[in-house]
Structure formats: structure tokens, C-alpha cells
Amino acid sequence: MSTVGISEIEEIKKRIRICDYLCVAELFLQDNFLLERKLSFDDVKPRLLGHWGTCHGINVAYANLKQYYNDDQNFSFVLGPGHGYPALNANLWLDHALEKVDQKATVTKTGLKYLCREFSWPDGFPSHASPITPGVITEGGELGYALANAYGLSLGHSEKTIAVLVGDGELETATAIDSLNLHRLLSASKNGKVLPILHLNGYKISAPSIYARKSERELNELIRGFGFEPIEINGDDTSEFQTALEKSHEALFYIMRTEKGEGGPTRYHESHQIPLKNAKTDESELHILEEWLESYRPKELFEEILK
């Protein structure tokens, strides 16, 4: 059992709901951001461009790590799938980190409008993480470097802990899989601790990922072969996630299982980018979008935040 209490678990779950809602709002909405009236075609952006499928898992990892490492200045989070930018942006906005570099991104109703409307919008935020994002040093459209970057960050900083989220599709890149050897080259006493978290949501764009097609045993053996101790986490189980973070084995490798597109109207490969492509013109898709947004109960979520 995790040492975190029920109220902390509820807070983590609430944060995930907030960030999931924000991701959907960023991807789809140009108005009516808190669903204060019935959703209409006019509220939907004319060009829907971005990625939903990976967002929930990013929000799960972010919320759990944030709770566990709290405000530890020696903790860093490295995100591999830069296409999951709506999630990164949502978390940074919620923590007032975006506001520090972009005065318009306040945690207010106006700031919420700015965050959502400007996402993937001409002259606004790009669709992928990029160097305009606080803490981002590489362009987020190219998969593969997250692990190497995390080990680089750890060099000479034994005080640091760096959690790095890697997509299962991303782990198929030569750079990512070979970076699993890096910890063998680095002295654990002189360098920081890197915690790889494989986001095993099963799919990469339109096809299953190779690692998702391995049995749990095969995958665990593969990871052990690289010198890590694999720890399985069900992304829906917050208590299990918190307990997993308490483990102190020297070379841990977390395998976080989620369903791609969890919480949305489609799953798996169909959720990779925009699930409801015709929401601006199709009455039934608009309705499904409204139900999807309402499923997070936004009024309840934002009442406190946007006081």
C-alpha cells in the first residue's frame, strides 16, 4: 500500500481530470471554454490539428510525479512524445509556469481562453512542444531523444532525479532503445538518478507498437536484459503508481499501462490525433464532443481554480 492518503489520491485524480479536460478544450474549442452554454458549431475551431491519444497518460504520469516529488527543486520531468503538447501545456498552465514566460497565460478565465484558443492556431502555440514552452530545449516533433536527454541532464548532478516518459512507439526508434544502455556507462554515485517510464498505451499512430505485442514476461525480460528492474504500473491505479515511486532499487524501469485515448470517444489508433474530425459540421459529432467535455464535470473542476 502506498503511504499517500485518500485525500492525496483524490487530488491526483482531480488534477488528471482537469488536465484531460484542458487537452480536449485546447484541441477543439475557440469559444465557450467552460461549457457555460450549449456547445455550438461556432465554438469549435475551424482547423483541428493536434494529438489527443497520448494526453491522458502524460497527465497521469505528470500528476503522480508532481504529488510524489512535490516541489523538489532537484526533480525534473522529461517528456518524450512532444506531440502530447496539449497535456504539457495544460500542466504548465495549471502550475502558473506558463504565465511566468507568457503574461497572457494567467490562471484566470481570460488565461484559459488564451490557452485553449491559441493552441495550434496561426501565430499562437504550435501543435507540438517547442522551445517556446518553458523548460523545453528541443523541438518536440521528433521522437527518440528523451532518454538520452535525461541521461545528459543527470551528468555530474548526483543530487538530481529525472523521470522520463517514453512512448512505446518512441521506444522503437534506434536512439531510444539504444539509450537504455546509457546507465551502464554512467557511475551511479557521480550522476543523477534517471527513472524511465515507458508509456505503454499499445499504439503508435495507426498500428500496434511492438512492445505492446510482447507478453508481460517477454517485455520484463527485455528490460531486465538492459540491466533494469521493471515495475509494472496500471495507469488507472493511483495508489499503485504512488507505491511504485517509493521503490528504491538502483536502476528502475517503470512500465505504465494506459489505454490510448482513455476518456475519449474512440480508443487505440483511432484516438492518436483528432477523434471527432467533423465536430464543426456534424451534429452528432458535436454532441459527442459536448458529452465528452461534460464527462469531466468542468464546472465543478474550475470553480475553485478560476475564483
User: Which residues have a Cβ under 8 Å from the Cβ of 297 and sit 6 or more positions away?
Assistant: 17
**Smallest distance from ligand TPP to CB 105, Å:** 24
**Smallest distance from ligand TPP to CB 264, Å:** 13
Contact of 235 with 257, CB cutoff 8 Å: yes
Cell of 29: 474549442
The residues of the shown chain that bind ligand TPP, judged by CB under 6 A, are 53-54, 81, 83, 141-144, 167-170, 173, 199, 201, 203-205, 209, 260
Contact of 16 with 59, CB cutoff 8 Å: yes
**Smallest distance from ligand TPP to CB 6, Å:** 30
Cell of 57: 497518460
Q: Which of 81, 27, 56 is nearest to 204 (CA)?
A: 81
Of 83 and 280, which has the nearer Cβ to ligand TPP?
83
Contact of 261 with 56, CB cutoff 8 Å: yes
Sign of CA dihedral 48, 113, 288, 283: negative
**Smallest distance from ligand TPP to CB 225, Å:** 21
Of 35 and 129, which has the nearer Cβ to ligand TPP?
129
**Smallest distance from ligand TPP to CB 84, Å:** 6
**Smallest distance from ligand TPP to CB 2, Å:** 25
The residue of the chain with the least Cβ separation from ligand TPP equals: 167
**Smallest distance from ligand TPP to CB 79, Å:** 10
**Smallest distance from ligand TPP to CB 156, Å:** 28
